[in-house]
Structure 1
Amino acid sequence: MYRVQDLKEKVWNLETIQKDEAMFLAKAPLEELCSAADEIRKKFCDNAFDICTIINGKSGRCSEDCKYCAQSAFYPAKIETYPLLSSEEIVSQAVYNEERGVLRYSIVTSGKRLSDEETDQVCESIRQVKKAADIAVCVSFGLLSEAQYRKIREAGATRVHNNLESSRRYFKEICTTHTYDEKIEALLAAKRAGLSICSGGIMGLGETMEDRIDMVLTLRELGVKSIPVNLLNPIPGTPFEENEIISNDEMCRIVAVFRFLIPDASIRLAGGRGLLPDKGERCFSSGANAAISGDMLTTSGISIRQDMELLEKLGYKAVLYHG
């Protein structure tokens, strides 16, 4: 029989939590679990908090059928659509974020992957951002090749984001137009190109806690240290529009278990955080230590000012964590 405190000591001793132990934690008393996860976070990450913002660099008309996404061309969700933004627009937002204390800025585009021409265009935007602002640049451009990722790194980006979304077992219930292995290969290609990788998932797609744990075990094998934890915002017009929104207690449990599995990670509250009654404050005392601030891709987020005030209240310091 496991105990939360024994498993915490195991993590402190640099031993690896296994799946059966994580499954035990998923049912452990919530307050004890979250308190132990926060202690692990303090030991391995101190008060470092990695806050980033995103810009929707290309919106809508996506060829993929991800059932949660308003940008998919398969579904009648009502969103604004547009091609790649100009360098001027991307740079302007980067400067705005830097002036407000944000250290990391991610350019996100819809679609399965950027074309070579689009990759060249956005590389120029990245170069312009690096000239205008002292801010780290991350990208989320879909399933690119290693050669494309090398261009992106040479332009000045340092990190690639590509969510696995859920476990390998459950992924086919979310998307059929690309595979789990394609996602993993894109992450590995980015690593080979010299970029750090960021990957996580969406909670509330109909997955089980075992699916969530299996996803993080895969991320651990891949060496991922930045893990976005999205809370599904059921958008009208998408197949998941009737899904029940996950409770604050459940989100705290999720990030706490993730902290045990990858103790030194940036566990990042991302899309859907605004649906939580406290905007994630309890999660930031339960193992989470990073966030996406400002507006999300197709939904409203939480302002940078609000987040900076929350970090000060909780005793965190905004830093670039894991490069």
Structure 2
Amino acid sequence: MKINPLIENAYQVLDGAELSRDDALALADGIHGNDILDLISLANKVKDSYAVPMLSCSILNAKSGTCSQNCRFCAQSAHHRTQIETYPLLSAGEVLAAARQVYQSGIRTFGYVTSGYGYLEPTPEFLDILDTLDAVHAELPELKLCVSIGILSGKTARMLAEHHVWRYNMNLQTNPQRYAELIADTHTVEDKIRTIRHLQQYGVEICCGGIIGLGETWADRVEMAIAIRDLEVEGAPLNVLLPIPGTPLEHLEPISPADVAKTFALFRLINPSKQLKFAAGRETRMKDFQGLLMLSGLNSLMTGGYLTTRGRSVEEDQKFIAELADFSTPER
């Protein structure tokens, strides 16, 4: 069977060319059915050619719920009536115990995450966070610290950079032009982009991705992928919506595994060298198709659970990654 001309044209990415917006939109609109497998195959080749080997990370929800922001998908928003556990900022001792467990499992990237708008000034809580990060680094200096605590100012970004933060997570979530419509209107996507630029100024790497299945179009997914490329970030985590009871999106129909795989493949073609990570939705949405998805251009996964939903064990995922290696191109 002859390869679809749209995919044949996209092979230019393997030669180092940038996939244009028009070509990405043509793939999004014109690739269906069996052609998705060819698109996945190309994305996996691009990953093997340009991206680093598979990496894993684990995160800790260090402050849960009662968030003042109204993100439509989020169980932690105080605007929604969900049944999650809520608690204030964990102590340094509690965070250290979790970090030790991650380190002992063989994972070397630890995500520290809190709910809330963020910190434009160094409040007492923000200073407690800095002390906690110092404590983790002092005991486990090989553990890379990835932090996600919301919107920052130049001042608080600089202070985080001075306290051992390797990477910061700040997701665009969707097409920036539709952020207020699809995500939230209590803050803006420009607030997020400013935070990213502040952190980059101080040498902190950025993890910036989003969520699919919100009711967005294929064009929105392409625009998000291109916006992430333009921000020149290092990592891009992608989540698949899990419609949580009590949120405005609780009745949305989940997107198909084929559409998830196609989305990830497009993200890889648009972002050949980034650390493309599958986060929430991997186990619950993809189920028997997890292996297919991991061959669609991904080179990172979140293991051991998410903020308010459980995931697979670290041991299961380590075995999974080892078996996936048989499908990768030999070391270049």
Scaled by the length of structure 1, what TM-score is found? Answer: 0.94
- Cα distance, 1:2 vs. partner? 4.8
Check the 8 A contact 2:167/2:205 in 1, yes or no.
yes
Quick check: 1:288 aligned with 2:294? Answer: no
**C-alpha distance in 2, partners of 1:202/1:297?**
14
Partner of 1:164: 172
Aligned-partner SS, 1:3: helix
Partner of 1:210: 219
Check the 8 A contact 1:52/1:291 in 2, yes or no.
yes
**C-alpha distance in 2, partners of 1:30/1:272?**
20
Seen in structure 2, the aligned counterparts of structure 1 residues 188 and 279 have a Cα distance that, compared at 3 Å, is farther
1:77 to 82, 94, 103: 82
Partner of 2:329: none
- Cα distance, 1:283 vs. partner? 1.1
Quick check: 1:304 aligned with 2:314? Answer: yes
- Cα distance, 1:225 vs. partner? 2.5
**C-alpha distance in 2, partners of 1:278/1:98?**
29
1:15 to 6, 14, 17: 17
Check the 8 A contact 2:113/2:147 in 1, yes or no.
yes
Quick check: 1:231 aligned with 2:231? Answer: no
Partner of 2:130: 123
Q: Deviations over 1:165-198 (max 9, x none)?
A: 1002321122110011111111111111210111
Equivalent residue letter for 1:237: G
Q: Deviations over 1:37-60 (max 9, x none)?
A: 1011111126x1121111001111
Aligned-partner SS, 1:219: helix
- Cα distance, 1:83 vs. partner? 1.2
Check the 8 A contact 1:111/1:142 in 2, yes or no.
yes
- Cα distance, 1:5 vs. partner? 2.7
Seen in structure 2, the aligned counterparts of structure 1 residues 224 and 163 have a Cα distance that, compared at 3 Å, is same
Alignment of 1:260-299 (within 5 A): 260-275=269-284, 276-278=286-288, 280-299=290-309
1:64 to 66, 69, 82: 69
**C-alpha distance in 2, partners of 1:278/1:161?**
29
Partner of 2:229: 220
Aligned-partner SS, 2:19: coil
Partner of 2:330: none
Seen in structure 2, the aligned counterparts of structure 1 residues 302 and 200 have a Cα distance that, compared at 3 Å, is same
* Runs of 4+ residues over 2 Å off in structure 1: none
Equivalent residue letter for 1:17: L
Partner of 1:146: 154
**C-alpha distance in 2, partners of 1:7/1:39?**
12
Check the 8 A contact 2:257/2:289 in 1, yes or no.
no
1:38 to 41, 44, 54: 44
**C-alpha distance in 1, partners of 2:161/2:188?**
25
Check the 8 A contact 1:60/1:82 in 2, yes or no.
yes
- Cα distance, 1:248 vs. partner? 1.3
Alignment of 1:231-250 (within 5 A): 231-250=240-259
Aligned-partner SS, 1:212: helix
- Cα distance, 1:279 vs. partner? 6.6
Aligned-partner SS, 1:281: helix
Equivalent residue letter for 2:150: G
Unaligned segments of structure 2, at least 5 residues: 327-332
1:4 to 2, 7, 23: 7
Check the 8 A contact 2:43/2:268 in 1, yes or no.
yes
Partner of 2:101: 96
Partner of 1:319: none
**C-alpha distance in 2, partners of 1:303/1:88?**
23
Scaled by the length of structure 2, what TM-score is found? Answer: 0.91
Partner of 1:320: none
Give the aligned length: 314
Aligned-partner SS, 1:278: helix
RMSD, aligned α-carbons: 1.4
Seen in structure 2, the aligned counterparts of structure 1 residues 57 and 185 have a Cα distance that, compared at 3 Å, is same
Q: Deviations over 1:21-69 (max 9, x none)?
A: 11122232101100011011111126x1121111001111100000101
Equivalent residue letter for 2:25: M
**C-alpha distance in 1, partners of 2:256/2:102?**
30
Check the 8 A contact 2:161/2:199 in 1, yes or no.
no
**C-alpha distance in 1, partners of 2:199/2:222?**
24
- Cα distance, 1:78 vs. partner? 1.1
1:252 to 258, 261, 272: 261
2:27 to 25, 44, 69: 25
Equivalent residue letter for 1:159: R
Q: Deviations over 1:60-86 (max 9, x none)?
A: 110000010111111111111111111
Over the matched positions of the two proteins, sequence identity in percent amounts to 34
Q: Deviations over 1:229-277 (max 9, x none)?
A: 1010111000000111122111110110011001011110001212111
